[in-house]
Structure 1
Amino acid sequence: MSDGDTSTAANPPRRIRRLRGGLSIQSKLLIMLLAVSLASSVVVGVIGFISGRDSLRDSAIEQLTTIRELRSTAIENEFAAIQRGVLLDSRNDSAIEGATAFVNAFAELQATELSPEAAQTLDSYYSDSFVPALEARSGLDYDPSAFLPASPAGRYLQSLYTAGRAYDDYDAGLALVDAGDDSAWTRANIQYGPYFTGLVDTLDYEDVLLLDTDANVVFSAYKSVDLGVNMQEEPYASSALTGAYEEVMRNGSLDEVVTTDFERYLPSLNVPTAWVVSPIGSATEIIGALAIQVPIDQINRVMTGDERWAQQGLGETGEVYLAGQDELMRSTSRLLSEDPEQYEKTVVENGTPVGVAERIVAVNGTVQLQPVDDFAVKEALKGRTGTALAAEYTDPNSLVAYAPLDIAGLNWVIVAHIDQDEAFAPVNVFTRNLLLSTLGILIAVSLLSLALAQIFTRPVHRLVGAVHRVAEGDLDVQVPQGSRDEFGDLGSAFNDMASSLRIKQELIEEQQRENEKLLLTLMPESVAAKYKQGEEAITEAHENVSVVFAELVGFDDLARGMPAEQEIALLNTLMRGFDEAAEKAGVEKVRTLRGGYLASSGLTVPRVDNIRRAVDFARNLRAVIERFNAQNGTQIGLRAGVDTGTVTSGLVARTSLAYDLWGDAVSLAYRVRSVTGEPGIYVSQTVRDRTQELVTYAEAGTVETQGRTETVWKVV
């Protein structure tokens, strides 16, 4: 029977080891279900992801390409309409008759001289009004005399039509018809001026100029600083307008139309300006040229879609812009229009020079200022059309669609772009939804597989967790005892074990706290730490330590015949008072005797004023005795000795612990206390010398120490 019992007891450990070395049926089933579910979900997910991602990406690219094509067609049609309009307007009978009248009237004014007052007014206009504004706008310096028309006719017209108003009051110039001088030019302006100014009002042109065959500006709709100037003279000789004028006059064809790129035009305060120029005349004679200033606002309206970017499929970050051969923008930036402050920060972060960004924000325009020397513009300038993921001036990762433009006379390109994150946001949403769906399937299968296994293993898991917590020191743990089977019995046994361990641990901890408290009453914390570490010889040498040796006088007489309990109670009262005085004075108690008290200052905590503290402590002890006598009607006295110097502290014995302090300072403190046999506070010569300015002393006698006589002083 004994052998059979041994075999039965030995078998379970071997079965447990086999279970731990392999997988349970539940684990295998769980792994199989998860593997099948994961494999099927991954296959379906990958196929759906690739198909959906490519479809959504293609849709985003196609949408951006469509927007680019629509804007390309719109801007090309816009310029074609302006060019056709200028060509038709230059052939109009009213335009020919009006141009002829203005040319002839301008020629008549060449013999007119300005009065000194009119000349002064014109000079003041340039020096005080126009040139300061131009310098402020451009950041450059200009000579006012350079802008004065060279011809008498030009100066005459500007003195009447230009100098009499603010430089930026263009509406006033447009409305000014009759200057009241009854000159041929004024009569021509009364008759034909409304036709040309009507082109500005109805077609939204920025300005309309008429030039004669000598390049004189004989008419300006706004009658600004270019009225009456010669475009072949400085400062206009090298301008794009002059080049276009010379080209149409040189070709000699009435069907000629020349369009200029944007260029900073001085009469418009250095604002970028583009022109469309066509000759005016009959089949037999060309009398001059009609120059239309291209409306930049109209270009921006076309490119921004009237600033309805989001509604037109460009989201929060998309836009379409124009760029020239110099890789600078020819239309306004969306971000600048919506948030100038954010625009400056963004473009600087993406490579635009700080000075350029500040200038753009200051003038509120990006034409011929904002660099767009990125991949899309470079490719389009090479005549290529396409899409790509590339950097843009507002974002290093953008979806771009680019193409060259077909505008006669201009080498411009068009770029549509949108931040890659926004363009492919549907792809990201689709990917996230697919991953979440796959994860949901896996979780559902996992939960279903785990449900039954958890029913059987839940009690074991609870018990294992409780054992781990006990191992970590948590002895308050208890496991539920819900089932009435072997698991319930095992839980009950575990709870009994945990309760027993908790009770024993509490007893041990309580004993440790009492031992710690007792140890700290016998010695300083530093010595106690060494003692607990098992050191055999624990001693410490201390320099510059003051020692107070105090003893009670008359306590034995008081306690004689007194019950032991009462004697101890009185003694405890005195010792508590001494302890409080020690704490207040900042001194350390070394040990307490039945009739005495040994303390030090500067022993465990070095103090520069340890002597003063020791004397103050001794005086405080005297005050404690006096209060005790007053409260109990006794006449106990105090003899205390104080000295300072080098001492040694340590444990005197290890089997019966006794922390003590010894050395010359302790010996002398002990001896000086009894120099007269009377109660009082007695100090050595060294203590007296160091505290005589703070305490009043009287000589009390002498003691012999180490072969010399030491004078003893008493605190008065």
Structure 2
Amino acid sequence: MQLKNRLSIVAVLLAVIPLLITCFVIGVLAYQEGKAAVTKEIENNLVSRRNAMQAQVERYFKTISDQVVTLAGSTMVVDASRAFSAAFASYPHAREAELSLSRFYETQFLDQYRQKNPGDSLSASSLFTRLSPTARGLQSHYIAANPNPLGSKDQLLDTGDNSTYSAVHRRYHKALREFQARFGFYDVFITNPQGDVVYSVFKELDFATSLTNGPFRESGLARAYEAARAQHVREGHFVDFSPYMPSYNAAAGFISSAILADDGTLLGTLIFQLPVDEINRMLTLNEQWYEQGLGDSGELYLVNQNKMLLNNSRFFVEDPGGFIAQLRSFGVDNDMVDNIEQQHTTIGTLRIDSPGTRAALSG
């Protein structure tokens, strides 16, 4: 090859190589910028989703706060509070009914409780012995002798014992039960100023108990009563979700308000047990994560102050067995994993202690 041709080729190469290098660098930079733009768009979408869900959850809690305050101030609940408190105080105590109630605790309730909490060694007698004579009498008639099965004790309108309490219950139960069902609350309670649960829609074992010295004096329900009693004003007081034994250790939150007479005298408290299912439905987007733009692995979740999850994890819903196996492989506490498996839920059973949850809880 002639020197002239070689020089031409070299000259071309010297011209082309920098051009190729420049094109390559520009291509890499464009790719990186494009990738960063896509990543930022995804991040913005997730932040937008999170903020929208936060607003929805806040609206939900504002709504139920308004509901408890409004109902507590209604003429019906003010009158019901007076009537139930008076009837509770005068309820006759029949000692012969105690045996059937004790059997109910030891058999029906404990059997159901152990099915849902296989590793729990709860003693039914420790609950029963802390019941007052009035609590034993009312629970005997409205729970133990109630012909409806567990979970349906609210269907009983009148025990037929001709007591003043039964007459009051017959007068108010239908309206309060309709309110509870229409707005999806798990239960609705009325207490007297001293902390006795003088009325409950659902009639679990918290019914008729004392929230100051009874078996559930350290529960979320007791904290809800105390918050409303202490503040002595008609406003909503929220108690965080935690395992609630009368509901078989399912996670339960409460919101309460004082019931006041026209002159400001405390007549009692009104308490709602919150429906964790509704919160779960919101956070899981009706289990339509992909359709709602979260792809194959995105999810939203809500934790309480103890970092416990208040909705079911997407990964648990889609593959319970695989999720449990993965938790075990990650070395998650065995008792926690066993509880998730036994309860078949991550609601109130899975703690998420991550930088994200710590940052969110710290504000």
Name the TM-score, length of structure 1 as normaliser.
0.47
Conservation of the 8 A alpha-carbon contact between 1:352 and 1:370 = no
Query: Equivalent residue for 2:23?
Result: 41
Q: Hey, what's the Cα distance between the residues in 2 that align with 1:240 and 1:201?
A: 21
- Give the secondary structure class of the aligned counterpart of 2:198: strand
Q: 1:81 deviation in Å?
A: 0.6
Bigger radius of gyration: 1
Q: Hey, what's the Cα distance between the residues in 2 that align with 1:68 and 1:206?
A: 27
The reply to whether residue 125 of structure 1 matches residue 125 of structure 2 is no
Query: Equivalent residue for 1:190?
Result: 170
Q: Hey, what's the Cα distance between the residues in 2 that align with 1:240 and 1:30?
A: 82
Q: Which amino acid aligns with 2:46?
A: L
Q: 1:151 deviation in Å?
A: 2.4
Q: 1:251 deviation in Å?
A: 2.3
Q: Which amino acid aligns with 2:138?
A: L
The reply to whether residue 220 of structure 1 matches residue 195 of structure 2 is no
Unaligned runs of 5+ in 2: none
- Give the secondary structure class of the aligned counterpart of 1:162: helix
* 1:267-346 paired onto structure 2 within 5 Å: 267-284=246-263, 285-346=265-326
Deviations 1:103-130 (A, max 9, x none): 1111110xx23252x3221111001121
Q: 1:91 deviation in Å?
A: 0.6
Query: Equivalent residue for 1:179?
Result: 159
Query: Equivalent residue for 1:154?
Result: 135
Q: 1:37 deviation in Å?
A: 5.9
Query: Equivalent residue for 1:169?
Result: 150
Q: Hey, what's the Cα distance between the residues in 1 that align with 2:22 and 2:29?
A: 11
Q: 1:353 deviation in Å?
A: 2.4
Deviating more after overlay: 94-103 vs 160-169:
160-169
Q: Hey, what's the Cα distance between the residues in 1 that align with 2:42 and 2:147?
A: 51
Query: Equivalent residue for 2:67?
Result: 85
The reply to whether residue 229 of structure 1 matches residue 206 of structure 2 is no
Conservation of the 8 A alpha-carbon contact between 1:129 and 1:167 = no
Conservation of the 8 A alpha-carbon contact between 1:125 and 1:163 = yes
Match for 1:258 among 226, 229, 237? 237
Q: Which amino acid aligns with 1:240?
A: G
Q: Which amino acid aligns with 1:246?
A: E
Q: 1:213 deviation in Å?
A: 1.4
- Give the secondary structure class of the aligned counterpart of 2:160: coil
Q: 1:352 deviation in Å?
A: 2.2
Deviations 1:646-677 (A, max 9, x none): xxxxxxxxxxxxxxxxxxxxxxxxxxxxxxxx
Conservation of the 8 A alpha-carbon contact between 1:105 and 1:188 = yes
Query: Equivalent residue for 1:54?
Result: 36
Query: Equivalent residue for 2:337?
Result: 357
Q: Which amino acid aligns with 2:135?
A: G
Q: Which amino acid aligns with 1:268?
A: S
Q: 1:30 deviation in Å?
A: 9.1
- Give the secondary structure class of the aligned counterpart of 1:140: coil
Q: Hey, what's the Cα distance between the residues in 2 that align with 1:318 and 1:265?
A: 30
Residues 328/30 of structure 1: CA separation in 2 closer, same or farther (3 Å cut): farther
Q: Hey, what's the Cα distance between the residues in 2 that align with 1:137 and 1:361?
A: 10
The reply to whether residue 209 of structure 1 matches residue 202 of structure 2 is no
Query: Equivalent residue for 2:359?
Result: 379
Q: Hey, what's the Cα distance between the residues in 2 that align with 1:188 and 1:295?
A: 27
Q: 1:229 deviation in Å?
A: 0.9
Conservation of the 8 A alpha-carbon contact between 1:327 and 1:372 = yes
Higher percent of residues as strand: 1
The reply to whether residue 239 of structure 1 matches residue 207 of structure 2 is no
- Give the secondary structure class of the aligned counterpart of 1:358: helix
Q: Which amino acid aligns with 1:199?
A: F
Q: Hey, what's the Cα distance between the residues in 1 that align with 2:148 and 2:22?
A: 77
Q: Hey, what's the Cα distance between the residues in 2 that align with 1:286 and 1:101?
A: 14
Q: Which amino acid aligns with 1:98?
A: A
Query: Equivalent residue for 2:113?
Result: 134
Q: Which amino acid aligns with 2:140?
A: S
Query: Equivalent residue for 1:67?
Result: 49
Q: 1:65 deviation in Å?
A: 0.4
Conservation of the 8 A alpha-carbon contact between 2:188 and 2:200 = yes
Conservation of the 8 A alpha-carbon contact between 1:259 and 1:277 = yes
The reply to whether residue 348 of structure 1 matches residue 331 of structure 2 is no
Q: Hey, what's the Cα distance between the residues in 2 that align with 1:190 and 1:323?
A: 40
Unaligned runs of 5+ in 1: 1-14, 16-22, 384-716
Percent identity, aligned pairs only, is 25
Query: Equivalent residue for 1:688?
Result: none
Q: Hey, what's the Cα distance between the residues in 2 that align with 1:341 and 1:167?
A: 35
Conservation of the 8 A alpha-carbon contact between 2:81 and 2:190 = yes
Q: Hey, what's the Cα distance between the residues in 2 that align with 1:47 and 1:311?
A: 33
Q: 1:349 deviation in Å?
A: 3.7
Query: Equivalent residue for 1:581?
Result: none
- Give the secondary structure class of the aligned counterpart of 1:319: coil
Q: 1:79 deviation in Å?
A: 0.7
Q: Which amino acid aligns with 1:85?
A: Q
Task: Count the aligned residue pairs.
Answer: 359
Higher relative contact order structure (alpha carbons within 8 Å, sequence separation ≥ 6): 2
Name the TM-score, length of structure 2 as normaliser.
0.91
Deviations 1:75-94 (A, max 9, x none): 11111111110010111111
Q: Which amino acid aligns with 2:98?
A: A
* 1:458-607 paired onto structure 2 within 5 Å: none
Q: Which amino acid aligns with 2:289?
A: W
Query: Equivalent residue for 1:108?
Result: 90
Q: Hey, what's the Cα distance between the residues in 2 that align with 1:166 and 1:336?
A: 37
Conservation of the 8 A alpha-carbon contact between 1:336 and 1:361 = no
Q: Which amino acid aligns with 2:106?
A: S
Q: Hey, what's the Cα distance between the residues in 2 that align with 1:315 and 1:159?
A: 53
Q: Hey, what's the Cα distance between the residues in 2 that align with 1:114 and 1:51?
A: 80
Q: 1:264 deviation in Å?
A: 1.6
* 1:630-641 paired onto structure 2 within 5 Å: none
Q: 1:291 deviation in Å?
A: 0.8
Q: Hey, what's the Cα distance between the residues in 2 that align with 1:327 and 1:119?
A: 41
Q: Hey, what's the Cα distance between the residues in 2 that align with 1:169 and 1:244?
A: 25
Q: Hey, what's the Cα distance between the residues in 2 that align with 1:350 and 1:66?
A: 31
Q: 1:136 deviation in Å?
A: 4.3
Residues 24/129 of structure 1: CA separation in 2 closer, same or farther (3 Å cut): farther
